[in-house]
Amino acid sequence: MNNFRYFPNSKKDIAKLYRFLGIKDKKELFKKILGDIPLISGGDLSGILSDGIDENALLRLFSDIDSAVPSKNKTAVFSGGGIYNHFVPSVIDSLLSRSEFYTPYTPYQPEVSQGTLFALFEFQSFIAEILSMDVVNASMYDGAESLAEAVLTALRLSSANSGMPANHKDDTVLVSEGINPSYFSVIKTFTGGTGVKIEKIKLNAETGRTEISDLKQKLSDENGRVPAVVIQQPNYYGVIEDLESLEKIIHSGCDSNSKLNSDHSSKSSLEHNSSEHTPTFIVSSAEPYSFGIINPPGFYNADIFAGEGNSFGNYMNFGGPLLGLFAAKKEYVRQMPGRIVGKTKDGNNKDAYAFILSTREQHIRRGAATSNICTNSSLNAVRAAIYLSLCSKSGFKDIALLNLKLAHILRDKLLETGLFEPLYGGDFFNEFSLKFKTNVNKHNNKTAAPDFIEKMAARDIIAGIALSDNAVLISATENISLSDIEKYVKNAKEVLNG
């Protein structure tokens, strides 16, 4: 019998290895190492794993699965909610099929990893340009985890500022209700160990923008410190936030806090410290393609940006792997999580690239590291670097503009049907929220949104995400066309009137 195809050692080689080691067989080998721990016998795996199959059979199996899910060519995808249906040029798949990119490990040996390091350096440069931020790291897992790490970074910054130990029981991080609910949940998971409270800032019921008065109120209500305020741009409901007004209040957060403290002069020294700390302004985004059209976080003096970069050259892949983006002002670089590529020289004074400031990281600092992250989303970042290289300055803007237009055309046409009304009135980029008019609800006599989505799906339209029983989140990208939009509108009418 031949060897299994991934094993280069022949049966004879293996016998030779056993002889060389003076061990009889597999049983003896493991017995020698494991003592009395039993070995799995073939029978143990019956029922869960069949015998191995050849490549052709394997491909057939997965091709069958592929043809049993919605067809890419027949289906128009209008769902967003944190991951967007953008077009991926074939250059990216072609370049990424190079083993030199996808089969190495993390570039711990810079001399033999210049390709990956240079590509990541370009990734950092392009993302910094798009966000107008100083420093971008070499990627995080995804937008949600990156945002959670941004909140942790802000907690560290607040401790460093006041010289307090890392106990945040008296601290509150304010998070806009406009944040993607999954991101909110991931923040909770990650900050659980710090004791910090996470509180939501309301949205304005009409515009869908973060309510400024509520932010003011909450900043002055907090007795402890507010290490960070988190705003998503555009927010989960698609609405463009007024970051200019928000930033002014957030970065003067110390004023409202100190006023409070002077009103209560008997406050303890612990709370007195709060007057010296300005909340870190964290901007998140699940769709940084918007920054081709709207002002980027750096324009509004964001301290940290943490979001999702999957829109740049990556497929949706049923939700992962994604591409976490993390950026900050220069002065916070030593508190940043993750790897950073820097430009340096080699012994012959030639340009070279290497990971820098790694004393922040777990493999050096262990328990005192800024994060436990090690493996990240490097390959997705390389995809993004290639994608953005292709885009060019004007192309990036043009595609962003196309997204803006298609989404607006779709929304206007849906409103014209008289079946929907806007959930919020604020400006939006490529995603918006609609609710069903009351007559639709009555007519259906049950949960309109999930029912609508399911019926549309049967007509090859992935119509959006149910925000509630009565509201839908819909996006449109350059990957759909006017005829898809017309198909959406026609079918929506049939489904809802029928």
Partner 1 sequence: MAKFPGIKGIFLDENPLTEQSSKGVSGIGIPDCGLKKSDLRKDGSAYIDSKYIRKNPPALPEVSEPAVVRHFTRLSSWNMCVDTVFYPLGSCTMKYNPKINEKIASLENIKNLHPLTPANLIQPVLKIVDEFNNILCGLTGLAEFSFAPQAGAAGEFAGLKVIKKYFELKGENRKTILVPDSSHGTNPASSVLAGFTPAEIKTGKAGTLDAEELKKFISKDVAGIMITNPNTFGVFEKDIKKIAEIMHKNGSFVYMDGANFNAFLGNVKVSDMGIDLIQLNLHKTFSTPHGGGGPGSGALGVVESLREFLPVPYVKKTAGSNIADINAGKKTSSVDKNSDKKFRGANFVYELSDDRKNSIGKMTPFLCNFAVLIRAYAYLLSLGRDNIGSVSEIAVLNANYVKKKLGKILPGSDPFEEGTCMHECVFSDKSIEESGISTVELAKLLIDYGFHPPTVYFPKNIHGAIMIEPTETESVRTLDNFIKAVRQIKFKTKKSKAVKSPQKTKVGRVNEVLANKQPIFKY
Q: Find the binding residues for partner 1 in span 102-141 (CB under 8 A).
A: 102-107, 109-116, 118-122, 124-126, 128-130, 132, 134-136, 138-139, 141
Amino acid at 396: F
**Beta carbon nearer to partner 1, 33 or 263:** 33
Q: Pick from 174, 322, 440, 467 the residue near partner 1 by CB under 8 A.
A: 322
Amino acid at 293: I
φ/ψ region of 450 (left if φ > 0, alpha if ψ in -120 to 50, else beta) reads alpha
**Beta carbon nearer to partner 1, 260 or 452:** 452
Q: Pick from 315, 417, 425, 444 the residue near partner 1 by CB under 8 A.
A: 315
Residue 460 CA to residue 478 CA, distance in Å, equals: 18
Closest CA to 151 of 192, 180, 122, 95: 192
- Report if residue 406 touches partner 1, rule: CB under 8 A: yes
- Report if residue 180 touches partner 1, rule: CB under 8 A: yes
Residue 9 CA to residue 249 CA, distance in Å, equals: 67
β-pairing verdict for 76-77 and 461-462: parallel
- Report if residue 295 touches partner 1, rule: CB under 8 A: yes
- Report if residue 471 touches partner 1, rule: CB under 8 A: no
- Report if residue 374 touches partner 1, rule: CB under 8 A: yes
Three-class SS state of 451: helix
- Report if residue 160 touches partner 1, rule: CB under 8 A: no
| 208-to-178, 237, 246, 296, 422 alpha-carbon distances in Å | 8, 7, 14, 19, 10
Does residue 321 have a cis peptide bond before it, meaning omega lies within 30 degrees of 0?
yes
Q: Pick from 161, 220, 261, 362 the residue near partner 1 by CB under 8 A.
A: 362
CA dihedral of residues 390, 395, 396, 400 (deg, nearest 10): -140
In this structure, the chain runs to a length of 498
Q: How far is CA 285 from the centre of its chain?
A: 8
Compute the least distance from the CB of residue 136 to partner 1, in Å: 7
445: tokens are 């006599």
First to last CA, the chain: 63
**Beta carbon nearer to partner 1, 64 or 263:** 64
Q: Pick from 354, 434, 448, 449 the residue near partner 1 by CB under 8 A.
A: 354
Compute the least distance from the CB of residue 455 to partner 1, in Å: 10
Q: Given the structure tokens 């017995």, which residue do they identify?
A: 31
Count of residues touching partner 1 (by CB under 8 A):
207
Compute the least distance from the CB of residue 221 to partner 1, in Å: 26
Q: Pick from 24, 160, 193, 205 the residue near partner 1 by CB under 8 A.
A: 193
Residue 259 CA to residue 222 CA, distance in Å, equals: 12
Amino acid at 274: S
Q: Which residues inside 2-41 make contact with partner 1, applying CB under 8 A? A: 4, 6-9, 13-14, 16-18, 20-21, 23, 26, 29-30, 32-35, 37-40
- Report if residue 198 touches partner 1, rule: CB under 8 A: no
Q: Which residues inside 202-241 make contact with partner 1, applying CB under 8 A? A: 240
Compute the least distance from the CB of residue 327 to partner 1, in Å: 10
Q: Which residues inside 445-464 make contact with partner 1, applying CB under 8 A? A: 450, 453-454, 457, 462
Compute the least distance from the CB of residue 303 to partner 1, in Å: 16
Using the contact rule CB under 8 A, the part of the chain among 259-267, 268-276, 352-360, 432-440 near partner 1 is 352-360
Q: Pick from 175, 246, 325, 340 the residue near partner 1 by CB under 8 A.
A: 340
Asked whether 302 and 282 are in contact (CB, 8 A), the reply is yes
Compute the least distance from the CB of residue 22 to partner 1, in Å: 9
* Angle formed by the axes of helices 482-497 and 448-457, nearest 10°: 120
